[in-house]
Chains A and B, each alone.
Chain A
């Protein structure tokens, strides 16, 4: 075996001697290549998070909607890609707007037609940057679907995907990451606790308010019923997929291999997630008497969401604290939303909203001077001698971005509701969206086609 390989290798060297004797690439090219490789891998990891969302949303909902819930994620990722390519990317990162307008929205690079390779002095090819950014937009969109689950019409998914990928997400991304006015203020959101998670959660909140709770979720007297998801194993697997994908999400946001700083980001990410999982299980155990698995899974995700903003700015102990608090918060928040009669089947508002807000604010408390200088955004937080300034900036960015995402989503969805309707009919909801929207069940052998569910 070894002998054969050596002979083959020798033959190849004889046939293609250039490979062995080409001129050495420059240090800059090597650096660019390494960056490109890492960012693309990270982008693919983030795209793979959609697998997590498919399993999370399907596992947390009922069998009769499984095919619809899973399939629509793939469809909307497709549609989101086209819209983001056409206009979304330009609104986020276009550089042709006048300085005044550029504070609020980018212009340029519509129907993005990138250079095929990195140019002189570029740290990575823009193609790869685009793929990476697109994967983020798609994640934010999939978070919003939590508020639509089990009752929205398929057409509303289509329309909201177009609106979200063009004028909701890209505007906020521009404000914080594309050189907009919050970037100028020094808002710290390393990988998108606000940009990606809070934005998606606000879309979910607007949708669930307009859609109203699922049939059977609340009784006449206002008490809630449990509508258990159909597969807890899916949910657990989804968390693992998301957790792994998050290394692309956070560590990839370094956008460079450089001195290996992205390793520190990954390190903090793991601590945050771990803190969230542990705290949520213990808290549900202490307060409800039973260690609740869905709460623990949400806790892990909440830890990840929270550490997303702060992973590059804080010390390891703070990452643990941020995760632990996120785990507690997700339990309290889920109870709160249930109490105010907001039906949130997959806890999108608690996991991505509440934890997203917490993670962003946490920067204002725990960011260190050295790390803020290293990332070169903002300054130290309250506990590290920075005073209240950074906390205020963080607070401002949460409020403004949250308000924009909610208002834009609410208004657009409200108009859509008036014009074409938002929710399926009662009969369709009872039969299940698999049948009403697609004509076949995700689990055909488990469910009869009679609609007598």
Chain B
């Protein structure tokens, strides 16, 4: 896409004065990107898509601030960062990504301030989630969303929460830590998010064993390739004969490289960024990194092909590639990518076993 095009788009987003206008832009831009998908390199397409989502969310949050001021809640009392987790955090949104979000705001000094800030950001989160739903982002089913009071906190409380999760690595808490690992600021004061991430990585260094708990937490999703190297396709339902690319390929690979990255203290949140950094840190050989990148790029492209249906006003992705799109050539490429994924998964499992013992 030409930079001119991109400039125009951003201009339009910046000038939108209500969510409705933003939604129109989203629809037309997604249509355009989707049509251009076959002729654009997937990395460029994904970058454009990710930029689009970021710009839309940014503008929507500005509109939230305006709306709150209009309603008499005033301007934000202190700096804050609006956090994205999940695919948004990893710059890997599709056309149908949902909202995984949180808010971190600057520390209050008094109880009075604490109350004021909390009530402002509660209202802020409510309005933001509502606007984003209007914009077509379905809320997170797992309740990892800024309207959840547990995910809308001042920095100090976030830090003690992190410490608590590290201190007591139950299944649920480890899951939260994995979510934080993919977090980043999409809007507001990125410095606050950095402080939070600093805490995360300091805690990581102090309890290396957490890596193993993290691995156990994600082992459930296996790469969908059988012992003969065959794809393990969907057997039943609308997508019978298709492949669950989300949970059978993409998520396992995300989990794998997240694990290696946090273990190495790498702060990148995008999977391709993590792979590059891992190669740089000599945790992966150049050949492995090459294979990993091309396998993962393929999965990202596939993920954009997954069946999307609109449910009400929301885009809902099935995460599954329909059978008719699995051409012979694609199947061949997928098998190769998945076999690599499976090999890496095994290797990491074995390393953890050697390091921390079996259970």
Interface residues of A (CB under 8 A from B): 219, 221, 223-226, 286-289
Q: How far apart sit A219 and B240, CA to CA, in the bound complex (Å)?
A: 10
B240–A223 touching, CB < 8 Å: yes
B236–A225 touching, CB < 8 Å: yes
Nearest Cβ in chain B — how far from A291, in angstroms?
Answer: 12
Q: How far apart sit A224 and B241, CA to CA, in the bound complex (Å)?
A: 10
Q: Which residues of A contact B282 (CB under 8 A)?
A: none
A226–B224 touching, CB < 8 Å: no
Nearest Cβ in chain B — how far from A237, in angstroms?
Answer: 25
Contact mask B233-253 → A, CB, 8 Å, 1/0?
Answer: 001111111000000000000
B37 at the interface (CB under 8 A from A): no
Q: How far apart sit A286 and B230, CA to CA, in the bound complex (Å)?
A: 10
**Given A223-B236, A289-B232, 12 extra CB contacts under 8 A:** A219-B237, A223-B237, A224-B235, A224-B240, A226-B236, A226-B237, A286-B228, A287-B228, A288-B232, A288-B235, A289-B222, A289-B224
When C-beta atoms are compared, the residue in chain B nearest to A222 turns out to be B240
B227 at the interface (CB under 8 A from A): yes
When C-beta atoms are compared, the residue in chain B nearest to A219 turns out to be B238
Chosen A-B contacts, 9 in total, with CB atoms closer than 8 Å, are A219-B238, A224-B235, A224-B236, A224-B240, A225-B236, A226-B235, A287-B230, A288-B226, A289-B232
Q: Which residues of B contact A288 (CB under 8 A)?
A: 226, 232, 235
Q: Which residues of A contact B235 (CB under 8 A)?
A: 224, 226, 288
Q: How far apart sit A412 and B156, CA to CA, in the bound complex (Å)?
A: 80
Q: Which residues of B contact A225 (CB under 8 A)?
A: 236-237
Task: Identify which of B224, B232, B236, B238 gathers the most chain A CB atoms within 10 Å of its CB.
Answer: B236
Q: Helix, strand, loop or mixed for chain B's interface?
A: loop
- By the criterion of a CB under 8 Å from any partner CB, how many residues of chain B are at the interface? 15
Q: How far apart sit A221 and B323, CA to CA, in the bound complex (Å)?
A: 11
Contacting A at CB under 8 A, from B207-228, are 222, 224, 226-228
B224–A223 touching, CB < 8 Å: no
A223–B232 touching, CB < 8 Å: no
When C-beta atoms are compared, the residue in chain A nearest to B236 turns out to be A226
When C-beta atoms are compared, the residue in chain B nearest to A289 turns out to be B232
Q: How far apart sit A224 and B237, CA to CA, in the bound complex (Å)?
A: 6
Q: Which residues of A contact B227 (CB under 8 A)?
A: 286
Interface residues of B (CB under 8 A from A): 222, 224, 226-228, 230, 232, 235-241, 323
- Number of A-B residue pairs with CB-CB distance less than 8 Å in the complex they form: 32
B238–A223 touching, CB < 8 Å: yes
Nearest Cβ in chain A — how far from B55, in angstroms?
Answer: 38
Nearest Cβ in chain B — how far from A447, in angstroms?
Answer: 24
Q: How far apart sit A287 and B231, CA to CA, in the bound complex (Å)?
A: 9
When C-beta atoms are compared, the residue in chain A nearest to B228 turns out to be A286
When C-beta atoms are compared, the residue in chain B nearest to A288 turns out to be B232
When C-beta atoms are compared, the residue in chain A nearest to B234 turns out to be A223
Q: Which of A223, A286, A289 contacts B241 (CB 8 A)?
A: A223
Nearest Cβ in chain B — how far from A140, in angstroms?
Answer: 31
Q: How far apart sit A302 and B19, CA to CA, in the bound complex (Å)?
A: 62
Q: How far apart sit A286 and B235, CA to CA, in the bound complex (Å)?
A: 15
Q: Which residues of A contact B230 (CB under 8 A)?
A: 287
When C-beta atoms are compared, the residue in chain A nearest to B223 turns out to be A289
Q: Which residues of B contact A289 (CB under 8 A)?
A: 222, 224, 226, 232
Q: Which residues of B contact A221 (CB under 8 A)?
A: 238
Task: Identify which of A224, A286, A288, A289 gathers the most chain B CB atoms within 10 Å of its CB.
Answer: A289
Nearest Cβ in chain A — how far from B342, in angstroms?
Answer: 11
Nearest Cβ in chain A — how far from B320, in angstroms?
Answer: 12
When C-beta atoms are compared, the residue in chain A nearest to B230 turns out to be A287
Nearest Cβ in chain B — how far from A40, in angstroms?
Answer: 45
Q: Which residues of B contact A224 (CB under 8 A)?
A: 235-236, 240
Q: How far apart sit A223 and B235, CA to CA, in the bound complex (Å)?
A: 9
B237–A286 touching, CB < 8 Å: no
Nearest Cβ in chain B — how far from A215, in angstroms?
Answer: 15
Q: How far apart sit A225 and B234, CA to CA, in the bound complex (Å)?
A: 10
Q: How far apart sit A85 and B323, CA to CA, in the bound complex (Å)?
A: 54
When C-beta atoms are compared, the residue in chain A nearest to B233 turns out to be A288
Q: How far apart sit A223 and B236, CA to CA, in the bound complex (Å)?
A: 7
Q: Which residues of A contact B222 (CB under 8 A)?
A: 289
Closest 10 CB pairs of A and B: A223-B240, A226-B236, A289-B232, A225-B236, A286-B227, A289-B226, A224-B236, A225-B237, A219-B238, A224-B240
Q: How far apart sit A64 and B267, CA to CA, in the bound complex (Å)?
A: 54
Q: Which residues of B contact A223 (CB under 8 A)?
A: 236-241, 323
Q: Which residues of B contact A286 (CB under 8 A)?
A: 226-228
Q: How far apart sit A221 and B236, CA to CA, in the bound complex (Å)?
A: 12
Q: Which residues of A contact B224 (CB under 8 A)?
A: 289
Task: Identify which of A223, A224, A286, A288 gathers the most chain B CB atoms within 10 Å of its CB.
Answer: A223
Task: Identify which of B228, B230, B235 gathers the most chain A CB atoms within 10 Å of its CB.
Answer: B235
Nearest Cβ in chain B — how far from A431, in angstroms?
Answer: 24
A287–B236 touching, CB < 8 Å: no
When C-beta atoms are compared, the residue in chain B nearest to A220 turns out to be B238
Q: How far apart sit A289 and B241, CA to CA, in the bound complex (Å)?
A: 14
Q: How far apart sit A288 and B239, CA to CA, in the bound complex (Å)?
A: 16
Q: Which residues of A contact B241 (CB under 8 A)?
A: 223
Nearest Cβ in chain B — how far from A395, in angstroms?
Answer: 32
Q: How far apart sit A219 and B239, CA to CA, in the bound complex (Å)?
A: 10
Q: How far apart sit A289 and B224, CA to CA, in the bound complex (Å)?
A: 8
When C-beta atoms are compared, the residue in chain B nearest to A290 turns out to be B232
Q: How far apart sit A226 and B239, CA to CA, in the bound complex (Å)?
A: 12
Q: Which residues of A contact B240 (CB under 8 A)?
A: 219, 223-224
Q: Which residues of A contact B239 (CB under 8 A)?
A: 223
Nearest Cβ in chain A — how far from B295, in angstroms?
Answer: 19
Nearest Cβ in chain A — how far from B309, in angstroms?
Answer: 14
Q: Which residues of A contact B226 (CB under 8 A)?
A: 286-289
When C-beta atoms are compared, the residue in chain A nearest to B231 turns out to be A289
Q: How far apart sit A219 and B237, CA to CA, in the bound complex (Å)?
A: 7
Nearest Cβ in chain B — how far from A328, in angstroms?
Answer: 14
Q: How far apart sit A289 and B223, CA to CA, in the bound complex (Å)?
A: 10
Nearest Cβ in chain A — how far from B243, in angstroms?
Answer: 12
Q: How far apart sit A221 and B307, CA to CA, in the bound complex (Å)?
A: 15
Q: How far apart sit A225 and B240, CA to CA, in the bound complex (Å)?
A: 8
